[in-house]
A and B are shown apart, each in its own frame.
Chain A
Amino acid sequence: MRNGRSKLAVLAAIPLLAAACSNGDGDSSEAGTNGGELSASLTGAGASFPDPLFQDWIYSYGEDVQPGVEINYQSVGSGAGIEQFLEQTVDFGSSEEYLGEEELAVAAENRGCEAIQFPVVFGSVVIALNNPDLDGLVLDAETIAGIYSTEITTFDDPAIAELNPDMDLPGDEIVPVHRSDSSGTTAVFTHYLSTEVESWADEYGEGKELDWAGGLVGGQQNDGVAQGINQNPGGLGYLNQSFAQEAGLAVASVVNADGNPIEPTLEATIAASDEADVPENFQFAIDGIGGEGYPIAGTNWIFTYTCGYENATADALIDFWTWALTDESAQEVAGDLGYAPLGPELTERVIAELERTNSENGGTQGGDADTETSDE
Chain B
Amino acid sequence: MSTQAPEAPAPEEPRRGSLTSAKGRMADPIFKWAVTACGTIVLVILALMVIRTTSEAWPVFAKEGFFGFLTGQEWRSGDSRTEITGTYGAWPFIYGTLVTSAIAIVMALPLAIMVAFYITHLAPRRLAKPLSYTVELLAAVPSVIFGLWGLHWFLPNVLRPFFEVLENLLGWFFLFEGPIRGVGYMAAGIVLAIMILPIMTAIIREVIAVHPIEQRMAAYALGSTRWEVMRNIVLPAGFSGIVAAAMLGLGRALGETIAVLMLIGGSQSWSTSLFGTGSSMASHIAATFGEATPEARTGLMAIGVALFLVTMIINILARVIVRRLGRMTGDAAV
Contact with B along A75-87 (1 / 0, CB 8 A): 0111110010000
Interface presence of B12 (CB below 8 A): no
Contacting pair B291 A183 (CB below 8 A) = yes
Q: Is the CB of B267 within 8 A of A79?
A: no
Q: A102-B81, A183-B291, A228-B265 are in contact. Are A218 and B74 (CB under 8 A)?
A: no
Q: In the assembled complex, which residues on chain A have CB atoms less than 8 Å from the CB atom of B75?
A: 211
The interface stretch among B25-33, B176-184, B307-315 is B176-184
CB under 8 Å from chain B, chain A span 77-100:
77-80, 83
State A106–B80 Cα separation when bound (angstroms): 12
Contact with A along B114-158 (1 / 0, CB 8 A): 000000000000000000000000000000000000011001100
Q: In the complex, which residue of chain A has the Cβ closest to the Cβ of B260?
A: A220
Partner-binding segment picked from B49-57, B200-208, B292-300 = B292-300
CA distance A173 to B183 in the complex (A): 17
The distance in angstroms between the C-alpha atoms of A231 and B267, with both chains bound, is 18
B160 partner residues in chain A, CB cutoff 8 A: 231
Q: Is there contact, CB below 8 Å, between A180 and B271?
A: no
Q: Does the CB pair A77–B266 fall under 8 Å?
A: no
What's the minimum C-beta distance from A208 to chain B, rounded to whole angstroms?
Answer: 5
* Residue of B156, B182, B262, B292 touching A220 (CB-CB under 8 A): B262
Contact of A79 among B183, B262, B291 (CB under 8 A): B291
Is A211 touching B265 in the complex (CB atoms < 8 A)?
Answer: no
With A209-B268, A218-B265 as known contacts, state yes or no: A77 contacts B76, CB within 8 Å.
no
Say whether A217 contacts B277, CB under 8 Å.
Answer: yes
Whether a CB of chain A sits under 8 angstroms from the CB of B194 is no
With the chains together, A216 CA to B179 CA distance in Å? 10
| Chain B CB within 10 A, most for which of A102, A216, A224 | A224
Chain B residues near A181 (CB-CB < 8 A): 261, 266, 286-288, 290-291
What's the minimum C-beta distance from B259 to chain A, rounded to whole angstroms? 11
Would A209 and B288 be within 8 Å (CB), given that A175-B181, A224-B151 are in contact? yes
Q: Is A43 an interface residue (CB 8 A)?
A: no
Tell which of B151, B183, B269, B293 has the most Cβ of chain A within 10 Å: B183
CA distance A357 to B265 in the complex (A): 42
Of B76, B151, B269, which is within 8 A of A214 by CB? Answer: B269
Please, which residue of chain B has its CB at the minimum distance from the CB of A106? Answer: B81
Residues A139-190 near B (CB distance < 8 A): 173, 175, 178, 180-184
A212 lies within 8 A of chain B by Cβ: yes
Query: Which of B181, B261, B264, B269 lies in contact with A232, CB distance below 8 A?
Result: B181
Which of these, B182, B268, B277, B289, contacts A231 with CB under 8 Å? Answer: B182
Q: Is the CB of A217 within 8 A of B182?
A: yes
The CA-CA distance from A78 to B289 in the complex, in Å, is 11
Q: Mark B242-285, 1 if CB is under 8 A from A, else 0.
A: 00000000000000000001101111110100001101000000
Which residues of A have CB within 8 Å of B277?
Answer: 216-218
Identify which of B74, B182, B294 gathers the most chain A CB atoms within 10 Å of its CB.
B182
Expressed in whole angstroms, the Cα–Cα distance for A230 and B152 within the complex equals: 10
Give the CA-CA distance A168 to B101 in the complex, in Å: 45
Which residues of chain A from 23 to 55 have any CB-CB distance to chain B below 8 Å in the complex?
Answer: 48
Most buried by A among B262, B276, B290: B290
In the complex, A209 Cα to B291 Cα: how many Å? 9
Using CB atoms, name the residue of chain B closest to A105.
B81
Separation in Å of the A346 CB from the closest CB of chain B? 26
Interface size class of B (residues with CB under 8 A): 35 or more
Which chain A positions have C-beta within 8 A of B183?
217-219, 224, 227-228, 231
Residues of B within 8 A of A175 (CB): 179, 181
Please report the C-alpha to C-alpha distance between residue A218 and residue B179 in the assembled complex, in whole angstroms: 14
The residue in chain A whose Cβ has the minimal distance to the Cβ of B288 is A182
Q: Contact between B265 and A180 (Cβ–Cβ < 8 Å)? A: yes
Interface centre among A220, A228, A231 (most CB of B within 10 A): A220
A53 to B287: give the CA distance in the assembly, Å.
22
In the bound complex, residues from chain B placing their C-beta under 8 Å from that of A230 are 156
A15 at the interface (CB under 8 A from B): no
User: With A214-B269, A216-B267 given, is the CB distance from A77 to B181 under 8 Å?
Assistant: no
Q: B77 near A: Cβ within 8 Å?
A: yes
**Closest chain A residue to B155, Cβ basis:** A231
Chain A residues, Cβ within 8 Å of B289: 77, 80
Is A362 in contact with chain B by the CB < 8 A criterion?
no
State A156–B269 Cα separation when bound (angstroms): 28
Interface centre among A48, A80, A175, A211 (most CB of B within 10 A): A211
Answer yes or no: A259 CB below 8 A from chain B CBs.
no
Q: How far is the CB of A364 from chain B (nearest CB, A)?
A: 25
Interface 1/0 per residue, B55-82 and A, CB below 8 Å: 0000000000000000000111100010
Distance in Å: Cβ of A47 to nearest Cβ of chain B: 9
A67 at the interface (CB under 8 A from B): no
**CB-based closest 6 A-B pairs:** A180-B266, A77-B290, A181-B287, A77-B291, A182-B291, A218-B266
Query: Taking beta carbons and an 8 Å cutoff, which residues of A are in contact with B?
Result: 48, 76-80, 83, 102-103, 106, 173, 175, 178, 180-184, 208-220, 224, 227-228, 230-232
Contacts A/B (CB < 8 Å), 8 sampled: A79-B291, A180-B264, A180-B287, A181-B290, A209-B77, A217-B182, A218-B266, A224-B262
